[in-house]
Amino acid sequence: VSQFDLPAEPDTPALVVDLDRLDRNIGAMSRRMAERGVLLRPHAKTHKSLDIARRQLAAGATGLTVATIGEAEVFADGGIEDLFIAFPVWAGGPKAARLRRLAERTRLRVAADSVAGVRLLAACLAGTGAGLLIELDSGNARSGVTSAPQAAEIADTAASAGLDVIGVFTHGGHSYNGRAAVRPAADDEVEALASVARELRAAGHAIPVLSAGSTPTAPLPARGGVTEERPGTYVFNDRTQAALGACGPDDVALMAASTVVSRSGRRFVLDAGAKVLSKDLPPWLDGYGMLPAYPDAVVARLYDHHAVVAAGDGPLPELGEVVAVVPNHVCPVVDLADEILLVRQGRLLGRWAVHARGRSR
Ligand SMILES: Cc1ncc(COP(=O)(O)O)c(C=O)c1O
């Protein structure tokens, strides 16, 4: 991964976004989807930022995907009206009234993968115009139904309770199992969506929406009847995307600026610990992050506030030096920060708030 220029003397630790790279990533994904005639509904859990959401919409995104009611509320408050909560929300307790209120002020789409879950959704959303997408498990073994009859039972329950069934969706998260897993996971997404949609249509449901996507799978060609893609991580990218080949070496738009605060032998310590970098670690990656300026180094251990870096055979940074760290997985990293510094060619342009930070329910 290549480094972009950090601002002079940042107060570390700090997340820094390079605006040119960000806009290039947003533009490239929008163009790819437009060329394929597919709608782009980016997952906003990656950036949690109204500023970035508005840039995605200005570049042609049709609306946003979010994971929680809390995220949806923040984006709705910011004036964004087309929102899909792509998570099997359990609409009991206070969530029911919050969902209904959201449906009254936005074009809301919700998700279910069980009959019990969809009954709760229908109880608060029937008659509001909110649309339902049924979640399919296309191989990630997370949430989602694994057969057309299960999907049909959910669709029938929703329709008879007055909730509009508009489509099916899946997230091929098994694309994260390594480079060789990306293409098969992409094909699994297409196959699951197409086969279940066919059965639901035969049973009388319209199913106009086939929604797929992850950052590795969304840009691939030959995506069958998919009508909408939901990549999220592509706005910033990270060490995992670079390792998967899902982005190029110059496409990582967010890095953590941190200061070398201690040195001993072949290791040194940065002030960006687990409370900055998070502890996400794909089993096939070594360490918690990499330093573009020190390609032999790897973040070997993380404590709350210390990152212990093994320098490997390469050079060592000076004490007090500010270095950039590329995190393994950018989404939880952003959720740990109040704000992001914006740079272009190393010049500090301003700061963006992480508006939906911490909105996990
Ligand atoms: C349901 C759903 N859709 C879309 C995405 C976006 O995928 P990615 O993070 O690969 O961009 C995610 C990410 O976890 C997801 O869970």
Q: pLDDT tens-digit profile of 272-300? A: 999 999 999 999 999 999 999 999 999 99
What was the pLDDT predicted at 102?
98
> Tokens in use for 190?
């297409």
Atom of ligand 1 nearest to the CA of 111: 1
**Residues 298/323, Cβ–Cβ less than 8 Å:** no
Element (H, E) at 227: none
What was the pLDDT predicted at 222?
80
The 3-state DSSP class for residue 273 equals coil
Angle of the 50-58 helix axis to the 19-36 helix axis, nearest 10: 40
What was the pLDDT predicted at 338?
97
- Is any ligand 1 atom within 6 A of the Cβ of residue 47? no
> Tokens in use for 77?
């408050």
- Is any ligand 1 atom within 6 A of the Cβ of residue 215? yes
β-strand pairing of 307-310 with 267-270: antiparallel
Q: pLDDT tens-digit profile of 61-107? A: 999 999 999 999 999 999 999 999 999 999 999 999 999 999 999 99
> Tokens in use for 67?
């994971």
Q: pLDDT tens-digit profile of 189-246? A: 999 999 999 999 999 999 999 999 999 999 998 889 999 999 999 999 999 999 999 9
* pLDDT grade for 323, boundaries at 50, 70 and 90: very high
- Is any ligand 1 atom within 6 A of the Cβ of residue 86? yes
CA distance 134 to 118: 9
Q: pLDDT tens-digit profile of 6-30? A: 999 999 999 999 999 999 999 999 9
β-strand pairing of 347-353 with 339-344: antiparallel
**Residues 114/154, Cβ–Cβ less than 8 Å:** yes
CA of 144 to the centre of ligand 1 (A): 14
CA of 43 to the centre of ligand 1 (A): 6
**Residues 57/80, Cβ–Cβ less than 8 Å:** yes
Residue 13: asked if its preceding bond is cis (omega within 30°), the reply is yes
What was the pLDDT predicted at 200?
98
Average pLDDT over the chain, rounded to whole?
98
- Is any ligand 1 atom within 6 A of the Cβ of residue 138? no
CA of 214 to the centre of ligand 1 (A): 5
Q: Give percent above pLDDT 70 in the chain.
A: 100
- Is any ligand 1 atom within 6 A of the Cβ of residue 171? yes
* Residues in the chain, total: 361
- Interior angle at CA 217, CA 216 and CA 222, nearest 5: 145
- Give me the helices (H) in 206-259, please: 239-244
Q: E strands along 51-208, which residues?
A: 64-66, 82-85, 107-112, 131-135, 164-169
Residue of 169, 210, 215, 230 best suited for mutating to test ligand 1, as the one with most atoms within 8 Å of CB:
230
